[in-house]
């Protein structure tokens, strides 16, 4: 066997020149080559135009997805420089789009704060494109240059239009920035159209229109006054195929944006579309409107806007124009902070953080500083008001999660040359930003919560009561979780005495029936299969948890019993894997009161045990409304038919009359207790014959819609519910009211 240490020499080493490294290892620059990486290329080109708008140049960005699978981004910024850069001898256009780590964002004074920092975004997209066309409007002229996989040259296009398959002539001696037209003096901008390379991307044309829409909508919030347009020229089937892939944008924002193409309220001002099928996004507000857009639950506080700035010094490498080399220089930086936040009645936390309008989904020093300041301020306020809030040392310590429950916040900072972790910019690493954000948030939030204004004092008190309630609920939920055990022969049951548990320990096959009333419980006990079916009766109508606090919910005997029996905790502490039953089935009477009880139970599960619904483990039983006993006739035996609606009853009776069958007066079930055990078993409980309605919540859009419906029908605000009832009164069918 040869000695590898001796055979390994310098001839085995390789040097990848220019953009070859990008094509060899694309994941290093864009994360992946699937749809997520494809969309990252789009963000790189769009963000170049947004950086111009941030500096006050240009107020319009247009994104066009062409029918041939190419994508075009147009902006009205200053335009990429077209003159020659002295050290390289290349025009600004060729330098920006062909050389890594080249651009105007390295501290040369062209950009105060920008999302692009490494000078690789545009050149990486060019390297991964089968073709890229760049047009620049400057100085009264339109300049153009084309590239194939990062190499400049000229395409000979057919009359049908540009295509990456057209014959291509690479520049051999000197590149040429062609003048292809004229524009009015003062008109500037850049247009980039590219075709993603199928040699790199498995699906080079599957741009996610939902993610694009969400990203443009998000940018309109972060850069007030900037108009962004989106045009998709693809066929509907191509759009649907692209939308089925993983969303490259924020899932919550994508889903919500997809179902809210028409702006709500005063958040957006839509201009006249430039062409049919163009969506226009423009926000005059800012982060406060962004928070209002993201929030779905009822409010505890108004949306607060916290702004400020701070300075810090750092040592950076700057180019010395005299020597042409980098040298360390100490510079003073200014960090601008803009935070919007509000607390709602829910327990979910929604935080969005941005640096120079670039999303940082993994957070960073700015988000850390924000959370530290919010936690510090609220703890201090609650300690100062502990007597009024009835908080004692036995209650424990307020934790960060208690404070962040129900919070919706947008944290943005503007920082010159921020330090990101990697090209994908998911985490901010600039250390001094944490202290600056913390100081701004602490000062501004303290001023709001200690204000002498009556409205702010009321909101501050309500917020503190909510946080204390969250703390007590967390402690109570932990205690519930610790004491909840499945009863065995060697263990004393700590579960409610009224629970009729099943014998099986197999969670997947076990079922919990939540039964309305003690009268139905007796029948259900005889109808169930005690091997895998458990019964929990509830007395009357449980607490409306949409209006009540979490602490009040846990003090309610019926709600507490349900959470204890399910055995997985509640709210933020809910652990789906700890749930004791594979199915939870709500079995109520088929009348108005039964529907109300079912709605109250669904509100409890949606508000505090939502993972059960998301996993498809909550069902509503469908008991029959009528029983028809058909007499024997000839060879036909006596028959019993159950119907589940008035229409089905009428249809069934007509069919029997046509067949000449005689039957007794149909029996109308008013409640589950009117059924015999065998009737309840064969219609509602036996898996072979019953009908169940699965309660589903499949995506973020349905979640937002469900939040709105629960708040409308079950929330504390009466006026919207009254308007809803009045508007829908004309559509009510009196025959459907069971009174």
Contact between residue 456 and residue 436 where contact means Cβ atoms under 8 Å apart = no
Count Cβ atoms below 10 Å from residue 175 Cβ, excluding itself.
17
Domain assignment of residue 676, yes or no: no
Domain assignment of residue 704, yes or no: yes
Domain assignment of residue 413, yes or no: yes
Chain centre to alpha carbon of residue 193: 29
**End of a domain among 417, 449, 472?**
472
Contact between residue 345 and residue 315 where contact means Cβ atoms under 8 Å apart = no
Reply yes or no on whether the pLDDT at 460 is more than 90: yes
For residue range 400-441, what is the model confidence (pLDDT) as tens digits? 999 999 999 999 999 988 888 765 568 888 899 999 999 999
To which residue do tokens 């409308």 refer?
Answer: 712
Instruction: Determine the average pLDDT of the residues in 675-698.
Output: 86
User: What domain range is 602 assigned to?
Assistant: 485-623+693-736
pLDDT at 733: 61
If asked whether residues 85 and 227 sit together in one domain, one would say yes
Q: Tell me the residue length of the chain.
A: 739
Reply yes or no on whether the pLDDT at 129 is more than 70: yes
| Confidence tier at 251 by pLDDT (50, 70, 90) | very low
Both structure tokens of 64:
């066009």
pLDDT at 17: 58
**End of a domain among 472, 504, 534?**
472
For residue range 718-734, what is the model confidence (pLDDT) as tens digits? 777 777 777 777 666 65
pLDDT at 739: 38
> For residues 680 and 675, what is the distance between their CA atoms, to the nearest angstrom?
6
If asked whether residues 609 and 728 sit together in one domain, one would say yes
Output the CA angle 392-394-399, nearest 5 degrees: 85
- Kindly report the pTM of this predicted structure: 0.67
Nearest to 464 by CA among 586, 338, 549, 528: 549
> For residues 232 and 547, what is the distance between their CA atoms, to the nearest angstrom?
43
Instruction: Determine the average pLDDT of the residues in 665-690.
Output: 85
Contact between residue 229 and residue 17 where contact means Cβ atoms under 8 Å apart = no
pLDDT at 738: 47
If asked whether residues 152 and 59 sit together in one domain, one would say yes
For residue range 506-565, what is the model confidence (pLDDT) as tens digits? 999 999 999 987 667 788 888 899 999 999 998 878 888 888 877 778 788 898 889 889
Instruction: Determine the average pLDDT of the residues in 131-139.
Output: 95
Domain count, the chain: 4
If asked whether residues 397 and 529 sit together in one domain, one would say no
CATH, residue 319: 3.30.230.10
| Beta strands 84-85; 60-65: pairing state | unpaired
If asked whether residues 449 and 425 sit together in one domain, one would say yes
> For residues 675 and 686, what is the distance between their CA atoms, to the nearest angstrom?
14
pLDDT at 163: 95
Domain assignment of residue 478, yes or no: no
Instruction: Determine the average pLDDT of the residues in 698-726.
Output: 72
Q: Which of 256-265, 628-637, 643-652 has the highest mean pLDDT?
A: 643-652
Domain assignment of residue 12, yes or no: no
CATH, residue 534: 3.40.50.670
Helices (H), 224-340: 236-243, 251-258, 287-294
Instruction: Determine the average pLDDT of the residues in 331-346.
Output: 92
If asked whether residues 398 and 341 sit together in one domain, one would say yes
Nearest to 500 by CA among 489, 484, 511: 511
If asked whether residues 211 and 275 sit together in one domain, one would say yes
pLDDT at 225: 87
Count Cβ atoms below 10 Å from residue 152 Cβ, excluding itself.
22
If asked whether residues 613 and 639 sit together in one domain, one would say no
For residue range 20-42, what is the model confidence (pLDDT) as tens digits? 778 887 878 888 889 989 999 99
Reply yes or no on whether the pLDDT at 258 is more than 50: no
Instruction: Determine the average pLDDT of the residues in 77-92.
Output: 88
pLDDT at 239: 60
| Confidence tier at 197 by pLDDT (50, 70, 90) | very high
Instruction: Determine the average pLDDT of the residues in 378-395.
Output: 87
pLDDT at 484: 47
Domain assignment of residue 9, yes or no: no
CATH, residue 56: 3.30.565.10
> For residues 460 and 342, what is the distance between their CA atoms, to the nearest angstrom?
11
Nearest to 52 by CA among 72, 73, 74, 76: 76
pLDDT at 426: 82
Domain assignment of residue 678, yes or no: no
Give percent of the chain with pLDDT exceeding 90.
39
If asked whether residues 319 and 443 sit together in one domain, one would say yes
pLDDT at 532: 93
pLDDT at 633: 79
Nearest to 356 by CA among 373, 333, 374: 333
pLDDT at 735: 53
pLDDT at 572: 77
If asked whether residues 96 and 227 sit together in one domain, one would say yes
Nearest to 593 by CA among 676, 520, 512: 520
What's the mean pLDDT when you consider all of the chain?
Answer: 82
To which residue do tokens 């046509």 refer?
Answer: 658
| Confidence tier at 263 by pLDDT (50, 70, 90) | very low
If asked whether residues 187 and 301 sit together in one domain, one would say no
> For residues 117 and 106, what is the distance between their CA atoms, to the nearest angstrom?
7
| Beta strands 189-196; 227-232: pairing state | unpaired
Instruction: Determine the average pLDDT of the residues in 447-461.
Output: 94
Reply yes or no on whether the pLDDT at 495 is more than 60: yes
For residue range 552-606, what is the model confidence (pLDDT) as tens digits? 787 888 988 898 899 888 877 788 988 999 999 999 887 778 888 999 999 999 8
Reply yes or no on whether the pLDDT at 189 is more than 90: yes
If asked whether residues 117 and 233 sit together in one domain, one would say yes
Domain assignment of residue 688, yes or no: no
Cα distances from 379 to residues 209, 426, 476, 682, in angstroms, run 43, 30, 20, 57
Which of 137-141, 202-206, 274-278 is the least confident region? 274-278
* More reliable by pLDDT, 91 or 7: 91
Cα distances from 489 to residues 492, 493, 539, in angstroms, run 8, 10, 29
Q: Which of helix, strand or coil describes residue 380? A: helix
């Amino acid at each position: 066997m040869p000695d590898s240490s001796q055979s390994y020499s310098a001839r085995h080493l390789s040097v990848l020149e220019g953009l070859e490294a990008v094509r060899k290892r694309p994941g290093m620059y864009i994360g992946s080559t699937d749809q997520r990486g494809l969309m990252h290329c789009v963000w790189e080109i769009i963000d170049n135009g947004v950086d111009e708008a941030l500096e006050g140049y240009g107020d319009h960005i247009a994104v066009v997805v062409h029918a041939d699978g190419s994508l075009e981004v147009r902006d009205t910024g200053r335009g990429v420089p077209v003159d020659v850069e002295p050290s390289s001898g290349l025009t600004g256009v060729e330098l920006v789009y062909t050389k890594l780590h080249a651009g105007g964002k390295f501290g040369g004074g062209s950009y105060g704060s920008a999302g692009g920092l490494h000078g690789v975004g545009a050149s990486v997209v060019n390297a991964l494109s089968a073709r890229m066309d760049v047009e620049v409007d400057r100085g009264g002229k339109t300049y153009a240059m084309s590239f194939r996989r990062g190499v400049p040259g000229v395409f000979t296009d057919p009359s049908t239009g540009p295509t990456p398959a057209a014959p291509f002539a690479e520049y051999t001696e000197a590149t040429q920035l062609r003048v292809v037209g004229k524009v009015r003096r003062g008109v500037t901008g850049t247009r980039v159209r590219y075709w993603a390379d199928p040699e790199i991307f498995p699906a080079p044309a599957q741009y996610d229109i939902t993610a694009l829409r969400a990203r443009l909508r998000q940018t309109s919030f972060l850069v007030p006054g900037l108009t962004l347009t989106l045009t998709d020229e693809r066929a509907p089937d191509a759009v649907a195929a692209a939308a089925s892939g993983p969303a490259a944008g924020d899932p919550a924002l994508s889903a919500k944006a997809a179902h809210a193409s028409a702006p709500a309220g005063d958040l957006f001002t839509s201009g006249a579309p430039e062409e049919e099928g163009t969506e226009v996004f423009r926000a005059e507000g800012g982060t406060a409107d962004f928070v209002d857009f993201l929030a779905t639950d009822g409010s505890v506080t108004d949306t607060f806007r916290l702004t400020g700035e701070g300075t810090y010094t750092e040592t950076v490498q700057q180019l010395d124009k005299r020597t042409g080399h980098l040298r360390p220089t100490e510079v003073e930086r200014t960090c601008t902070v803009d935070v919007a936040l509000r607390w709602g009645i829910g327990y979910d936390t929604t935080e969005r953080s941005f640096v120079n309008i670039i999303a940082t989904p993994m957070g960073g020093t700015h988000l850390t500083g924000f959370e530290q300041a919010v936690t510090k301020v609220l703890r201090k306020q609650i300690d100062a008001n502990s007597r009024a809030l009835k908080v004692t040392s036995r209650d424990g310590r307020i934790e960060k999660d208690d404070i962040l429950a129900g919070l919706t916040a947008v944290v943005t900072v503007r920082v010159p040359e921020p330090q990101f972790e990697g090209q994908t910019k998911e985490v901010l690493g600039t250390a001094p930003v944490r202290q600056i954000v913390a100081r701004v948030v602490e000062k501004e939030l303290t001023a709001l919560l200690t204000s002498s204004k009556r409205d702010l004092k009321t909101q501050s008190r309500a917020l503190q009561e909510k946080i204390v309630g969250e703390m007590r609920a967390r402690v109570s939920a932990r205690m519930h979780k610790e004491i909840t055990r499945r009863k065995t022969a060697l263990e004393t049951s700590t579960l409610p005495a009224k629970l009729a548990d099943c014998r099986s320990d197999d969670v997947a096959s076990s079922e919990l029936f939540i039964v309305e009333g003690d009268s139905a419980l007796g029948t259900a006990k005889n109808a169930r299969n005690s091997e895998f079916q458990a019964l929990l009766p509830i007395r009357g109508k449980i607490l409306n948890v949409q209006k009540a606090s979490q602490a009040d919910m846990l003090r309610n005997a019926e709600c507490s019993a349900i959470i204890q029996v399910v055995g997985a905790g509640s709210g933020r502490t809910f652990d789906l894997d700890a749930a004791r039953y594979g199915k939870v089935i709500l079995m109520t009477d088929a009348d108005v009161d039964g529907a109300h009880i079912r709605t109250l139970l669904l509100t409890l599960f949606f508000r505090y045990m939502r993972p059960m619904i998301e996993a498809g483990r909550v069902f509503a039983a469908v008991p029959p409304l009528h029983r028809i006993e058909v007499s024997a006739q000839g060879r036909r035996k006596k028959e019993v038919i159950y119907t589940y609606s008035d229409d089905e009853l009428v249809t069934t009776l007509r069919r029997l009359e046509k067949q000449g069958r005689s039957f007794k007066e149909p029996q109308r079930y008013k409640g589950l207790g009117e059924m015999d055990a065998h009737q309840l078993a064969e219609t509602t409980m036996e898996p072979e014959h019953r009908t169940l309605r699965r309660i589903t919540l499949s995506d973020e859009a349905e979640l937002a819609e469900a939040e709105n419906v629960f708040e409308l029908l079950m929330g504390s605000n009466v006026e919207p519910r009254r308007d809803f009832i009045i508007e829908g009164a004309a559509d009510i069918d009196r025959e459907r009211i069971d009174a």
